[in-house]
């Protein structure tokens, strides 16, 4: 709980990035750049949550990311 505000900001950015990429799934965003941005935000999210030690939150993020990846490969 040392860097609570930093963790919340990282978490918010990760969730916003995942949400934006899922909602606007056009040919431009659903590309390697979009996937790279998603993975970077996901890694930051995992890092923040490991510092928090909330395992259910990490599992939830994994499920969201797997759903997005399935959607990504389905749209190809």
All residues at 6 or more sequence positions from 14 whose CB lies less than 8 Å from its CB, including other chains: 41, 42, 44, 45, 48, 61
List the structure tokens of 11: 């978490």
| Angle (nearest 5°) at CA 34 between 48 and 13 | 30
* pLDDT confidence of residue 63: 73
Q: How would residue 17 be classed by pLDDT, with cut points 50, 70 and 90?
A: confident
**pLDDT single digits (tens) 56-73:** 666 666 777 777 777 766
Q: Which of 24, 75, 74, 64 is nearest to 41 (CA)?
A: 64
pTM exceeds cut of 0.75: no
């Amino acid at each position: 709980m040392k860097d609570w505000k930093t963790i919340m900001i990282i978490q918010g950015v990760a969730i916003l990035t995942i949400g934006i990429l899922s909602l606007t799934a056009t040919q431009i965003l659903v590309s390697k750049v979009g996937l790279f941005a998603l993975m970077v935000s996901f890694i930051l999210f995992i890092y923040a949550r490991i510092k928090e030690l909330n395992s259910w939150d990490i599992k939830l993020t994994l499920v969201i990311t797997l759903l997005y990846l399935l959607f990504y490969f389905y749209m190809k």
